Structure 1
Amino acid sequence: MWIGLAGVAFGLAAAYALYRLYAFKKQLKDLVRQLRRYHRGESGQKLVLDWHDPALEELAAEINRHTELIEQANAEKRRSETELRRAVANISHDLRTPLTSITGYIQLLESGQMTEEEGREAIAVVKNRTIRLKSLLNDFFELSVLDSPDYRLKLERVQLGRILPDILLGFYERMNEKKLRPQFRLAEEPLPATADESAVRRVIENLMLNTLRHAEGAIDVALQRQGEEAVLTIRNAAPHLRGFDLELLFNRFYMADQSRSGSSGGGNAGTGSGGSGLGLSIARGLMEKMDGSLRAEMDGDDLVMTCTWRLEK
């Protein structure tokens, strides 16, 4: 009798094992079918199990995670390709504009139909357009090297409290020409930071040029110590930027498009040293290379640009 019961139990166990093996193989085939449909682009759904098995569930979860990574990589690739096309179009437009102007004035000069005074004016325009073209090329080159992981700045001890007044002094005449009312609140201590002096100068110059182009009335520039950091803030009224995504100010492609379209959004927000719309993007890139930060925020109707450097102990 016991032998008979044991045989029945063995038979049931064998039948259950065969059933699980059959169900396991069926689920595997279904997973393969789902993966095949996904690879063919017939379905974008994640893998779904019809049968509970811990090992298969773990396998499906890992495959789904891998699929998500592939989708993210593809989305990033499409975004990069789109930005590359926009960059090529933007660069082409930015370079073509001054070149067209230069060519036109040269043709007028060659025609011999201009008066002496008109000729001098034409030469002045050609000179200005050439300077702008050079500035554009410098900006494009600087952005290209900033994006390279091999690009390194010379980080050393920089006395921010001493070089900032010198930089601001260079903008004093232009501030007067625009009838701006600057207020400087600068720390009296040297504020030694780990930075690259030429990069610091470029960052501050870009921020000041951005402010000069778009500010009216009062400008507030402050440099102070906050804990173990040196913080520079540049504030000016910008009520048109309320509700605007300020991160777009640092997007080189958005800025270029807006400056061409003449909209009152990003196009009024900021441009680079040559008016190419790249200055803020360059400034942030340089700050990141110095392990610092550059951010924009609204305080009421005021736009506040904030740079932060790490101070040496």
Structure 2
Amino acid sequence: MKDLKSLKHFLIVRFIQIVVACALAEAIVFRTFGDALIRSLMLAFFHTDDISGMGLAELGMVALAVLSGAILGFVKAVVPQQMVRPLELILSTLNRFSADLIHLPSTGSQVSDLSPVMRFVLAIVITGIFLIMLLPYIIAGIVFSGMVIREFRAIEEREKQEREEYERKRNLMLSDIAHDLRTPMTTVAGYAKALEDGMVPEEKIAEICQAIQTKTGRMSDLINLLFDYVKLDSDGFVLTKESTDVCEMVRECVAFQYQDIEDAGMEADIDIPDEPLMINADRIQMSRVITNLITNAIRHNDAGARIGVFITHDSERIDIMICDSGDAIPREMAEHIFEPFVTGDESRNSRGGTGLGLSIAHKIVSMHGYRIRLIQRPDIAGYKQAESYSKMFRITIPRG
């Protein structure tokens, strides 16, 4: 769709440019040859070459009188008599009308009195004149066709590259999913075998069972996230939008995870307006986005870090900001942070994430017509509430 819009814009712009160029070329040709041509034709047909005081419309009438007279004389010479009468009537009327408008004698009889060879030459000359006048447009058509062909080829090349990149990312995703499932499954299998063989001391059984539960929970989370990611990308999924107080929604998400923030040894800084700010959104899906961003801030930072949740607004937009004071995300990773299973994403190893959460958040926000961005130092210094933090995810919701 994006390529079709860009192609439409490209064709319109180029067409306008070419039309303007043709008009300029036509004006140059007429300026260069027009006066001499019209004077010669008038001298031949009307025995005068005085075109002083003639405007553009009158000069057009001269050309029309000459052309209709030439065609009339040519038709009389080469077309059978029984077929020429209706055409002769039309051409004679047109010839007299155009000649009378500029007070010149009708040219039809003069042309018909010429010899057959001269009438043929005259027809060739008139045809050549029009071909010459059309030459800029013929050249423009060829050039325009070449532009269209090149643009279509460029679109095909971009689509090919996008397909190849999609295949590469899909294969990478499948490989990472296999890795993320295999690791906890191997651990669970090892623990289960140890329990079956009676190799676990009595006092360690509860600990092993807890580890098995943790690993299976991780596999379940990964499968659920993958399911959600695929579901959001399917054609059948639609948002269930309703009027929602964004302040109340964010407060609920923070309250739900406040204990997790404290258990992680982190400090929470919350600044949410008391008055309701209504938006039209899918409350469940947007709550998942906020929850996911707070979960990421907890999971990917060490104890002692600060997490900030702020909402600001003006007449044009509402901003939701989820900030933390942890380490900055490397630039090469930050550029692809919303892609699934970013290469090198530590969320698939030591921190225990799946690498899909931010992709899902980005999809949900985009489906609403909102925008989500990662902002880090030094850019974050431009936001008063977040200037003391190292990074933040900002969701921008247009108003009205």
**How far apart are residue 106 of structure 1 and its match?**
0.6
Secondary structure, in 3 states, of the residue corresponding to 1:187?
coil
User: Residue 242 and residue 203 in structure 1: after superposition, are their counterparts in 2 closer, same or farther (change >3 A)?
Assistant: same
Secondary structure, in 3 states, of the residue corresponding to 1:240?
coil
* Residue 292 (structure 2) aligns with: 206
Equivalent position to 1:75, from 156, 161, 174: 161
Larger radius of gyration: 2
**How far apart are residue 54 of structure 1 and its match?**
3.1
Deviations 1:32-58 (A, max 9, x none): xxxxxxxxxxxxxxxxxxxx9333222
* Residue 259 (structure 1) aligns with: 346
* Residue 125 (structure 1) aligns with: 211
Structure 1 portions without partners, runs of 5+: 21-51
**How far apart are residue 118 of structure 1 and its match?**
1.7
Equivalent position to 2:144, from 27, 39, 58: 58
User: Residue 243 and residue 112 in structure 1: after superposition, are their counterparts in 2 closer, same or farther (change >3 A)?
Assistant: closer
User: Residue 154 and residue 92 in structure 1: after superposition, are their counterparts in 2 closer, same or farther (change >3 A)?
Assistant: same
Cα distance in 1 for partners of 2:321, 2:246 equals: 13
Deviations 1:228-285 (A, max 9, x none): 4332101223453364563311111315x422787xxxx9xxx8xx710111111111
User: Residue 261 and residue 150 in structure 1: after superposition, are their counterparts in 2 closer, same or farther (change >3 A)?
Assistant: closer
User: Residue 242 and residue 105 in structure 1: after superposition, are their counterparts in 2 closer, same or farther (change >3 A)?
Assistant: closer
* Residue 287 (structure 1) aligns with: 365
Deviations 1:72-117 (A, max 9, x none): 1111111111111111111111111111111111111111121112
User: Residue 90 and residue 242 in structure 1: after superposition, are their counterparts in 2 closer, same or farther (change >3 A)?
Assistant: closer
TM-score by structure 1 length?
0.75
> How many percent of aligned residue pairs carry the same amino acid?
24
Equivalent position to 1:246, from 328, 334, 337: 334
**2:163 is the alignment partner of 1:85:** no
User: Residue 119 and residue 191 in structure 1: after superposition, are their counterparts in 2 closer, same or farther (change >3 A)?
Assistant: same
- Report if the CA contact (8 A) 2:347-2:355 is conserved: no
Cα distance in 2 for partners of 1:74, 1:103 equals: 43
Cα distance in 2 for partners of 1:97, 1:173 equals: 29
Equivalent position to 1:296, from 363, 374, 380: 374
**How far apart are residue 225 of structure 1 and its match?**
2.2
Richer in helix (by share): 2
Cα distance in 2 for partners of 1:99, 1:280 equals: 24
**How far apart are residue 170 of structure 1 and its match?**
2.3
Deviations 1:120-165 (A, max 9, x none): 2111111111111110000000110111232111100112222322
- Report if the CA contact (8 A) 1:206-1:283 is conserved: yes
TM-score by structure 2 length?
0.60
How many aligned residue pairs are there? 268
